[in-house]
Amino acid sequence: MKPPVIFIDDEKPVRDSLGQTLELEDYQVQLFASARQALSTFDNQFPGVIISDINMPGMDGMTFLKQALLIDDELPVIMLTGHGDISTAVDAMRLGAYDFLEKPFSTEHLLDVVKRACDKRELVLENRELKRELESQSSPGPRILGNNLAMKQLRRRLYQLKDHGQSVLLQGETGTGKRMVAQFLHDHSPYQHLQMITLKCQDLTEHQFEEILNDQDGKWHAATGSTLYLENIDQLPMAAQQRLAMTLQTQSIQPHPGDQVRLIASSERNLESLVQQQQFDTELFAIVQDCILTLPPLRTRRDDIELIFQNFIRTTASRYNIEAPMLSTEQKEKLQDHDWPGNVRELRNLAERLVLLGDQFDKQHPLKIDSPHPTLAEKVHQFEFTLLSDALRRHHGRLKDVQSELGLARKTLYDKMKKHGLDKQDFKDAL
């Protein structure tokens, strides 16, 4: 069913004719002979479009328009005007009308204007909801930012998936934010009261995956009634893929029949291409491809780089109670020139270094990210910093866990942290 349309006209034949036209196109139509009567039937959350004649007894169309826009100044109100009464229509547009239709008008023109108005209204309400979500955060945090068209479309799809339990496949290069989007989907789903369970498929052998499926106290069963995030599902061994497909189809391992698992999977590679190359299970792809979201790399949306970088700076500064540094013009230019092979993750790491190292940043780590041919030493230094900071963040500064993950002796870990200016206390409250 399409959005609702309120149509106001004091002439019954006109109301009936236009109402029938819109209903045939599956719009939910409400007809009113009185503008005053219609005024009490909508608020600032009204999801549809209003069409009003201008010349009517009692409250005329212009007065109605002013009153309607007091309720919501972004309401799409389409005005109907008689032939030759263009000056009144122009006045209506100045007041804030979405558009006007001069009688007589074709059905095609009517439907085109109504569709555009409905599309605009949908975007307005989505943007308001997203703004409310951002403002509800007590401090800056992970956000799906960007003014690039691909990011706007992604946010729109995420808004549409809110409060749903639909399976989702996230595709995108390393560091594009797939895990963050998965967490966003979980946090805005019916399962938000439970923890999202993550399985890192790249770390699992066929045997290990089978053990996870059969462990009644393990991660798989913990995901019952919640969200299961399969990270890098394309790296799961083929036999494990087939076992997973069979399990999802039959739900035979779920301890309580009827309980649902919301599946979110991610992949750095295009799964459809892998299926064609017989490198990914056809049945599993049929399950996870219910809804595919593609996360664009940073190099394709350079206008968003500074916006995202500044947000990471504010987030880090707020977390550690440090004053957020200002970027120089030269640094901004270098941000734009770099191709960001590590995408958002690489951008975040650089922002954290800038905040945490403060005045020493330019001395110890000059912003040479625009260099097309970094030296081996520079590559090793950056890799080591990223590896250490990511591990510290994952384990919230617990050095014993970091040692275990990286296989480092305690003294070696301390030496490397000192070399990179890293302090375990800075990661206690890491996201």
Q: Where are the domains of the chain?
A: 4-128, 149-296, 299-427
Q: Return the percent helix, strand and coil in the chain, to nearest 5.
A: 55, 10, 35
User: What is the per-residue pLDDT for 431?
Assistant: 46
* 200: β partners: 231
User: What is the per-residue pLDDT for 67?
Assistant: 94
Q: Measure the CA angle with vertex 282, ends 281 and 285; round to 5°.
A: 85
Say if domain 4-128 classifies as CATH 3.40.50.2300.
yes
Picking from 405, 406, 389, the residue whose alpha carbon sits closest to that of residue 350 is: 389
User: What is the per-residue pLDDT for 83?
Assistant: 65
pLDDT in tens, the chain (431 residues): 789 999 999 999 999 999 999 999 999 999 999 999 999 999 999 999 999 999 899 999 999 999 999 999 999 999 998 766 778 888 889 899 999 998 888 999 999 999 999 988 988 887 777 566 555 544 344 467 787 888 888 888 888 887 777 889 999 998 899 998 998 888 888 888 888 889 999 888 999 998 888 876 677 777 777 888 999 999 999 999 999 998 888 764 444 444 577 889 999 999 999 999 999 999 999 988 889 999 999 999 998 888 888 888 888 888 778 888 877 777 888 888 888 888 988 898 888 888 887 655 555 555 554 444 455 665 677 778 878 888 888 888 889 888 888 888 888 888 888 777 777 877 765 54
Are the C-beta atoms of residues 355 and 317 closer than 8 Å to each other? yes
User: What is the per-residue pLDDT for 113?
Assistant: 94
User: What is the per-residue pLDDT for 157?
Assistant: 87
Picking from 130, 50, 135, 142, the residue whose alpha carbon sits closest to that of residue 97 is: 50
Q: How far is CA 24 from CA 18, 19, 48, 148, 154, in A?
A: 10, 9, 17, 36, 31
User: What is the per-residue pLDDT for 39?
Assistant: 93
Kindly provide the residue ranges of all beta strands, DSSP E only, lying in 248-311, ordered along the sequence.
262-267, 292-294
User: What is the per-residue pLDDT for 361?
Assistant: 55
Residues in the chain, total: 431
Say if domain 149-296 classifies as CATH 3.40.50.300.
yes
User: What is the per-residue pLDDT for 1?
Assistant: 75
